[in-house]
Amino acid sequence: MEYSSTIKEGAVIMVKIGQYNHLSVLRETPIAFLLTDGSEEIFLHKKEAERSYLPSETIDVFVYVDNLGRKTASTKRPFITIDQAAFLEVKSSNFDYGVFLGNNLIKDLLLSKDDLPLKLDLWPQPGDFLFVTMKEKKDHLFAKLLGRKEIFRYFDDPLPMVEMDETEAYVMYLVDEGIVAFTLLGQEIFIHKNNLRKGYRLGELIRPKIVRVASNHEYTGTLIEQKETMIESDGQIILDYLTNHQGKMRFTDKSSAEMIQSVFKMSKSAFKRALGSLYKQGLVELDSAETRQIKK
């Protein structure tokens, strides 16, 4: 923190929430220091203070609004302020309000339910990370999700990845064609739904393999293994489905790609490869109307 002389007498500086403010110490109370900008008093709880302060001393503090609606100061350094952005960890959720993100302050930062999917199972869970900025609305601070192209301006140019690289990334967008994730370095990875085998939620950590390089920032990835390896695991998905449906299913190699994707979360070509492997192993029998499991 930086310290300097007192604020000039009569100076009036509007306190800005979500930012650092240069305020003067008025007095000390049993639990806090009262600060001023020359027009209003700001509460600095001793839990948020670095040390004891003398009257008329000036200090730099971050100002936010506490749970009682009061402007409150902290000498702690939040991870983001207004117009800054970073990956913040999800600390908790409340289905009436949204999810709360840790910002290195006593009060967590709310990402409103209005900015989250309607399906609760797609909400981020504690321990997940989201890349957000901070916004002010009606004198309160909130987290805000960024558009895909907005995110790039917060990162320097990272070292490029190449095909077959594996990396860690966090799911940022759920789109009709799949998911979009970002690495901690700001690299965007799109994963088509045919290269997924389950649903994912916002903020979830994934470990995709790069299959195509579009630019220095944008990549295409996959979350499934090579075809030869996937035949076995995809075949097990089909067998599990048959077991749970009395050994029969109406899905065959003639079924539509949309139906197969909806039920089995795999492409039609992957489904046909796995089904053909099961047939060759004598585990299923096929006709034009249905697939039947052969019990051994």
The CATH architecture to which 3-74 belongs is Beta Barrel (2.40)
What pLDDT, on a 0 to 100 scale, did the predictor assign at position 236? 87
What is the pLDDT averaged over residues 198-219?
90
Question: Binning pLDDT at 50, 70 and 90, where does residue 286 land?
Answer: confident
229-293: what fold? Answer: Arc Repressor Mutant, subunit A (1.10.10)
Which residue's entry shows tokens 């007095």? Answer: 27
Instruction: Compute the mean pLDDT over every residue in the chain, rounded to the nearest whole number.
Output: 87
Question: Binning pLDDT at 50, 70 and 90, where does residue 235 land?
Answer: confident
- Are the CB atoms for 152 and 158 separated by under 8 Å? no
Q: Check if 3-74 and 229-293 are the same fold.
A: no
The DSSP annotation for 163-223 comes to TT-B--EEEEEEETTEEEEE-TT--EEEEEGGG-SS---TT-EE--EEEEE-SSSEEEEES
Q: Express each pLDDT in 87-100 by its tens digit.
A: 999 999 999 999 99
155-222: what fold? Answer: OB fold (Dihydrolipoamide Acetyltransferase, E2P) (2.40.50)
Rounded to whole angstroms, how far apart are CA atoms 4 and 127? 40
Q: Which CATH superfamily is domain 85-146 in?
A: Nucleic acid-binding proteins (2.40.50.140)
Rounded to whole angstroms, how far apart are CA atoms 124 and 135? 20
Pick the range with the lowest mean pLDDT from 17-26, 67-76, 175-184.
67-76
Rounded to whole angstroms, how far apart are CA atoms 34 and 241? 65
What pLDDT, on a 0 to 100 scale, did the predictor assign at position 220? 93
- Nearest-CA neighbor of 14 among 41, 44, 39? 39
Domain spans of the chain, in order of start: 3-74, 85-146, 155-222, 229-293
Question: Binning pLDDT at 50, 70 and 90, where does residue 201 land?
Answer: very high
CA 102: distance to chain centroid?
Answer: 12
